[in-house]
Amino acid sequence: MARSVVVMFLSLAFLGALVASLIRSPKPVSQAESSEPLVIYCAASNKSVLEAIRGDYERDYKTPLQIQYGPSQTLLASLEVSGSGDLYLPADDSYLALARERKLLAGDSSVF
């Protein structure tokens, strides 16, 4: 029980830090005013955090967010089937390890 609380807290802290860095970083030319949505697969446990910053992000970057919420395993399966997405935010880092093993993550997919 205590481990799951710690993992959830760390996931929320990571999500908050990620969002803060996205909001504070300069807008890349290629990302400014994009009509293409940013596709996010997000664990249901992180929904309140992501929804809290969604409006600010869409307004500041003029980029819509297409967010799919659900259980981490279901999101991983959706990511595997679709083969596309911009951000995967599971509730537990074990799902990131699975995504990495299945070669679903591109570039530097470090866990912070």
Residue 87 lies in a domain: yes
What is the value of pTM for the model shown?
0.68
Residue 112 lies in a domain: no
Q: Which residue in this structure is represented by tokens 């600010």? A: 56
Q: Which residue in this structure is represented by tokens 């596709």? A: 39
Q: SS3 of 98, please?
A: helix
- 34: pLDDT confidence band, cut at 50, 70 and 90? low
Residue 106 lies in a domain: no
Q: Which pLDDT score, from 0 to 100, does residue 106 have?
A: 83
| CATH number, position 56 | 3.40.190.10
For 7-44, the three-class secondary structure string (H helix, E strand, C coil) is HHHHHHHHHHHHHHHHHHCCCCCCCCCCCCCEEEEEEH
* Residue 97: domain span: 2-101
Residue 13 lies in a domain: yes
pLDDT beyond 60 at 31: no
Residue 111 lies in a domain: no
d(CA 93, CA 15): 12
Query: How many domains does the chain divide into?
Result: 1
Which of 41, 55, 57, 54 shows the shortest CA–CA distance to 90? 41
pLDDT digits (tens, 9 = 90+) for 58-87: 999 999 999 999 999 999 999 999 989 999
Q: Which pLDDT score, from 0 to 100, does residue 35 have?
A: 81
Q: SS3 of 1, please?
A: coil
